[in-house]
Amino acid sequence: MRKLTILLATWGGVGFIPLAPGTAGTAAAVPLFLLLSLLPLKIYLPLLLCISLLACWLAGKAENIFQQEDSQVIVVDEVVGLLVTMTSFPPSWPYILAGFFLFRAFDIFKPPPIRFLERRIKGGYGVVLDDVVAGIYAHLVLRIFSSLLPFIVS
């Protein structure tokens, strides 16, 4: 069970990449988004909720294994963040690239209340929740961009 937890929490070992593991984890989430984007929204959303709850559990277990809070090798939270960002967007590369960069920006710079949540909520829920909020911010900005500048992202 320990090896499976590490495998999933590091998204197949991507989290062990020494340079920018969060960015690598986000990029490694794209194939999952491409697969899930084939599903109708009424299935995508409950599945995203299940994936998010599993990610919380995995992140908490992985913190215990690595003996470190929010270890940078845990990247399953970035997977959830990208899936939140891309919810209901088509699987086209302009959207994916825009969503990727927006999510990474919000995840790195952590505008309020993201940093507050990251500091206050501990365990697996804290690891994942700040990425969910960063994903919501990125989704909203992408939604605004796509409505104002449809020729850029279509």
- Please report the pLDDT score of residue 24 as a whole number: 98
Flag whether pLDDT at 152 surpasses 70. Answer: no
The pLDDT, as a whole number, for residue 151 is: 60
3-state secondary structure the chain: CHHHHHHHHCCCCHHHCCCCHHHHHHHHCHHHHHHHCCCCHHHHHHHHHHHHHHHHHHHHHHHHHHCCCCCCCCCHHHHHHHHHHCCCCCCCHHHHHHHHHHHHHHHHHCCCCHHHHHHHCCHHHHHHHHHHHHHHHHHHHHHHHHHHCHHHHC
**Residue 148 — very low, low, confident or very high, per pLDDT cuts 50/70/90?**
confident
The pTM of the whole model exceeds 0.75: yes
So what's the pLDDT on residue 153? 56
Encode pLDDT of 33-64 as tens digits.
999 999 999 999 999 999 999 999 999 999 99
Q: Which residues contact 4 (CB under 8 A, 6 or more apart)?
A: none
**Cα 21 to Cα 74: distance, rounded to the nearest angstrom:** 9
Residue 11 has pLDDT above 70, yes or no: yes
48-105: pLDDT as tens digits? 999 999 999 999 999 999 999 999 999 999 999 999 999 999 999 999 999 999 999 9
Mean pLDDT within 138-148: 94
Evaluate if residue 154 carries a pLDDT over 60.
Answer: no
Distance CA 133, CA 137 (A): 6
pLDDT at 22 over 60: yes
Q: How far is CA 88 from the centre of its chain?
A: 15
How much of the chain exceeds pLDDT 90, in percent? 91
